[in-house]
Each structure stands twice: as C-alpha cells, then as structure tokens.
Amino acid sequence: MLTIGLLIIWMIFTFMVSDSEAEPYYGKVVATEGKSIQVKGNDGRVSVFWLGHRTRFDTRAPLIGDRVKIEYVKDRLRRNAVTRVTILSK
C-alpha cells in the first residue's frame, strides 16, 4: 500500500512540473533542420527550438533570414518546444 501511495505521489508531481513557460525570444533564423530551427538572438547566441504538432504559425513557417518572435516552453526532455512563431520582418 505504501508503494502504491508513493507511485501516485510521484505521478502527480511529474505531471505538475512537466512544462515551464519562458520569456519570448527574439532573433533571426540562421538554419532549419527537419523539425528544428536555429535562431541567433540579439545577444549573438544561437539557440535551437523544436517545432511540433502544437506549434502555431501566425502567417507561414519561418525561412532563413526572417526575424522572428518565438514563444516556447521547456518540455519534459528539457528542450525548447515552440508554441507560437511570429514573423516580424525579412
């Protein structure tokens, strides 16, 4: 009975901390590879973002050279999972 109780508590804790919201990220797309894009931020760092079936595009998928605003969350695998992509300019 104790084992089942600990298992239930562990499952509740795991699902409660699965996703964490992050600040929007602004930058320029420098590469696209399959379901991921690499974006160079205003500070010069290149970050990788994962696109999935929950990603919403305001107009179209970003191309290399587009300036974008990316809203993302950290998923269970600690990746930057994109929730929304807004193209600001070319």
Q: What is the pTM of this model?
A: 0.70
Query: Which helix or strand (DSSP H or E) is residue 86 part of?
Result: strand 80-89
Q: What pLDDT score was predicted for residue 59?
A: 82
* Amino acid at the residue 49: F
Grouping H, G, I as helix, E, B as strand and the rest as coil, residue 14 is: helix
Read off the pLDDT of each residue in 12-41 and give the average, rounded to a whole number. Answer: 80
In the structure, what pLDDT confidence band is assigned to residue 15 with cuts at 50, 70 and 90? low
What domains does the chain contain, in order, with CATH numbers?
20-89 (2.40.50.140)
Q: What pLDDT score was predicted for residue 74?
A: 82
